[in-house]
Chain A
Amino acid sequence: MRRVLGVVVSVVLVAAVGVVIAVRWPHSPGPALTRVSGLIGSEKTEFFNSPEVQQALRNDKLDVHVTSSGSWQMAQQVAAKPTAYDFAFPASSTATSSLKDLNSVPVRPFYSPLVVIANRSTVDLLLRDSWNGVAGPMGKVPPLLKSGQDGAELLDMDAYRQAVAANLTWGAVDPQGTRKDLRGQLLISTTDPASSSSAALYLAVMSYLANGQQVVTDQSGIDRVGPLLKQLVQSQGALLASSDELFRDFLSGVGRPLIWTYESEAAGLARAGKLPQDTVVLYPDTTIQSDHTVVELTKNAEPFAAAMQNDPVLRQLAARFGFRPSGDPQAMVQALGERGTGFAADVTRIGSFQVAPPSTDNLQKLVNAAKGSN
């Protein structure tokens, strides 16, 4: 009998609506799949929900089930249900230190830089040309935007720090009131730093700037930057738990004008042709690397980590979903093709300065100081 590698069945149904459905499965029959369950950062939900990714994982003999969770909450979730998950896959390596990894060499298949996302008309208000003498009640503020190399637009994070310290409002930036929906203090919106790594890393960047461009290493540093961090977090009011939620709210018009999230959120949509035309990606000129890291909690996770690390199909799919595969910084923009306009081809070359993160212990203390829960 002829060996069947893949069976494609297409049936044209002459139903009232005339729907055409194709059912395909290249692996029938094949060996049993290994079921692997894990916690993922919400920014990878679309990636793991995608039929192509699920198929690629099945080709690697894996049946992967994921639940999204804030990266900083994962240790707590795993502790509460020690047998529920085989792996955790948070958005940053900083979030992994409280999780026990069976693998001694961390698997970091891809990364995604932190960015600020805004609408074009909001960014226009921040342009240098229209920024003459803009001041808050507490003083003048230098322009927030810089042009970077490689066509990237950079956000001057220290100028932003000064804007917040000066209590700069949108009213001062837009005195004509051209944008009725911009109201109150000019502030970047983040997720909850207590549960989500993107916001925790935001506090790390801001603490570095507020600490005289030094990584905070001790209590005196925490005390020095505490008031600013408190303002950055508490002025926002209630905070969302995940970056995916923050980004979805922004796209639905119920978010705030400037949101802090991972580049992959916007890039994945751009690849699908769904990113609204007037969306702008601003790269912070001071940032912290965030590596998506697979933490192996059980032996079952080993083939999953290996697949994420080594399977070229999965690496290519990751690039298409807006992540930057480790060691191949240009793969994402190449995967996006003409839809990659506005994304830096190689984020290591745009003139953004990478600072080291504080120790996990100090970062936790910074989060507590910002939330007023220490």
Chain B
Amino acid sequence: MRAHLTRRTALGALALLLTAVTGCTSSGPGPTDPLPSGVTGSNGPAPVGASVTLKVLGGSELQDMTPILDDALKATGVGVQFTYTGTLDGADAVAAGRADGAYDALWFPSNHYLRLDPTGAGKLLSETPTMVSPVAIGVRTSLLSSLGWDPAKVTWAQIGQAVAAEKLTFGMSDPSRSNSGFSALVGLASAFSAANSALTQDDITKASPDLQRFFTGQKLTSGSSGWLAQAYQRSAQGGSGTSVGALVNYESVLMELNRTLPAGAQLTVIRPLDGVVSANYPLTLLNSSSAAARDAFQRLTAYLLRDDVQRKISDVTARRPIGPGVGPGAGLPGDPRAELPFPGSRAVADALLATYQNQLRRPSRTVYVLDTSGSMEGDRLAKLKQALGQLTGSNDPRGEQRFRDREEVTLLSFADSVKWEKTHQVPQKEPQPELAAINADVQSLSADGGTAIYSSLEEAYKLVAKQQAAAGDDRFTSIVLMTDGESNEGASAGDFAKFYQALPPAGQAVPVFPILFGDAAKQQLQGIADTTGGKLFDGMSGSLDGVFEDIRGYQ
């Protein structure tokens, strides 16, 4: 009887295991296979493991892991529920204790920046790197012959020279928010300073002239590596937005992007010969996690490190496998690159970022088109003043929390027509008085009247054209549109589309970043973002402060 029962239970377990091996090439438990756990106190066979969902704060590029994580759920019973944020914002959240209890684990491209802060490092219990991708530069294949480059032998110095000679433009994500941009900045500073070890303040100073020349060629910026790839793809397919000759991004993002690009826009991935900074995607358990989450973490990491799973990760995501046993997936060259050291202190890391924002990058021209119609009265207007006012503060260690030195900021208040517009130049030195003046204008906003979104946007474009013509400069230029309602006066969506299409190239290169707020019409705003190559931000489900900060990555 006992034997009979046992056998029946065995068949039940077999059914479970069957699910577990679906899609795997191995034919049974091997030395690297994870052991099903959860056998405490039971006499029967081991079930696959209690079903657990790990709450993970991670990078949005991990969406491409969905097929692997689906398999992992079947095999281990461990699911992953992501909340996406940028690597550096994530580091801030962890250090401030906002991840405690809210998440079990982190999964960012790198924990370096987080670990440089002892408070943040103290929140981490255990970490396991899961896959690898170096930050590389994807250059339009059609440009290679005119550049005279053998892609296997290009250095950062050569790339810098090509940019300085105006033979190459590129897009790169905001290093103060996104790990790919930050890694590229570290690589560039290391290469241009010829540093023999981890960067110091002196190395940054030494590299600054070359870096500044290099960043004159940066024509596209974004808060995340994913949006940068989308922007390139949209422009390559004939859509709106700025066209660039190269993209700085993870090797994996560039390889994945190539799968969807037309022949003429294909990118050749260059890992510069003088070294790269790689992401190793550590799945990281938080100290605050529960015992159940710790067990689930152990099961999931053991699964992800299996040879067959590593093979699939590399094939699906174009990232490189971690550890031994599995070679890189198809199309990923095996010749090694020096791994350049990441800064060893927050002081140096933040100094590099602040220098980039306030001195090295092309300055910005930023126009805020602000709905101050009657419906904004009260709480809505207060929130707007708070969100915009925070960008005029003084605490800004890594150059992402306030308007930058050298930035031109225009505020345009509108209702049924434009009420007023005021422009401020934030100076290179002692920016505080000008920042205070911007804040005074922000706080003076008052609400009344109807809502003429499209007409006001047209006015903003005309204003930008005037500013560009008067200054004769070359700035990152963008428009933020903040509204709480539907356009009910003035030009229509069709009128605006016609207006936009008639703009000269310098005008069409200006994206609008609309913010959804109050009773705003999502379709109208999404249409504006699509027409102009911008991106819609949601100010309703999250905090408006957060949205105004996020948009900074795109300005």
Contact = CB atoms under 8 A, between A and B. Distances in A.
Interface stretch (B209-217, B336-344, B499-507): B336-344
Contacts of B27: 19-21
Residue in A37, A42, A194, A235 whose Cβ sees the most chain B Cβ within 10 Å: A235
Contact of B197 (A28, A29, A180, A237): A237
B7 A245 contact: no
Contacts of B323: 248, 251-252
B195 interface: yes
Residue in A45, A253, A276 whose Cβ sees the most chain B Cβ within 10 Å: A253
A211 B211 CA distance: 42
A100 B33 CA distance: 35
A110 to B, nearest CB: 19
Given A51-B33, A253-B336, A274-B325, A238 B21 contact: no
A194 B128 CA distance: 18
Given A67-B294, A275-B324, A58 B198 contact: no
A37 to B, nearest CB: 7
Interface in A60-80: 63, 65-69, 76-77, 80
A244 B40 CA distance: 28
Contacts of B344: 233-234, 236-239
Contact of B285 (A67, A244, A253, A254): A67
Nearest to A58: B39
A49 B35 contact: yes
Interface stretch (B143-151, B275-283, B406-414, B449-457): B275-283
Contact of A21 (B14, B45, B112, B298): B14
A69 B125 contact: yes
B280 A237 contact: no
Given A1-B2, A65-B294, A238-B342, A252 B21 contact: no
Contacts of A236: 197-198, 341, 344
B134 interface: yes
Contact of B7 (A7, A13, A183): A7
Nearest to A30: B43
B287 interface: yes
A372 B347 CA distance: 13
A361 interface: no
A249 B129 CA distance: 8
Interface in A221-240: 233-239
A42 B302 CA distance: 13
Interface residues of A, number: 77
A74 to B, nearest CB: 10
A192 B115 contact: yes
A9 B298 CA distance: 28
Nearest to A76: B122
Given A19-B21, A84-B291, A235-B197, A195 B121 contact: yes
B527 to A, nearest CB: 43
A292 interface: no
**Interface of chain B: mostly helix, strand, loop or mixed:** loop
Contacts of A237: 197-199, 341-344
A167 B33 CA distance: 45
The range of chain B's interface size is: 35 or more
B2 to A, nearest CB: 7
Contacts of A167: 196
Given A181-B336, A236-B197, A37 B273 contact: no
Contacts of A235: 197-198, 341
B331 interface: no
A32 B282 contact: no
B3 interface: yes
Interface string A110-126: 00000000000000000
B312 to A, nearest CB: 15
A187 B197 contact: yes
A195 B125 CA distance: 10
Nearest to A48: B298
Interface in B117-162: 118, 121-122, 124-129, 132, 134
A13 B112 CA distance: 47
A19 B297 CA distance: 28
11 contacts: A13-B18, A58-B39, A63-B41, A67-B294, A180-B273, A184-B196, A184-B341, A238-B115, A252-B129, A253-B320, A269-B324
Given A11-B14, A29-B43, A254-B134, 4 more contacts: A9-B7, A51-B33, A185-B196, A234-B198
Interface of B: 1-3, 6-7, 9-11, 13-14, 17-18, 21, 27-29, 31-35, 37, 39-41, 43-46, 111-112, 115-116, 118, 121-122, 124-129, 132, 134, 195-199, 273-275, 278, 280, 282, 285, 287, 291, 294-295, 297-298, 302, 320-325, 334, 336-345
Interface of A: 1-2, 4, 7, 9, 11, 13, 19-23, 25, 28-30, 32-33, 35, 37, 42, 45, 49-52, 54, 58, 63, 65-69, 76-77, 80-81, 84, 167, 169, 180-185, 187, 192, 194-195, 233-239, 241-242, 244-245, 248-249, 251-256, 269, 272, 274-276, 372-373
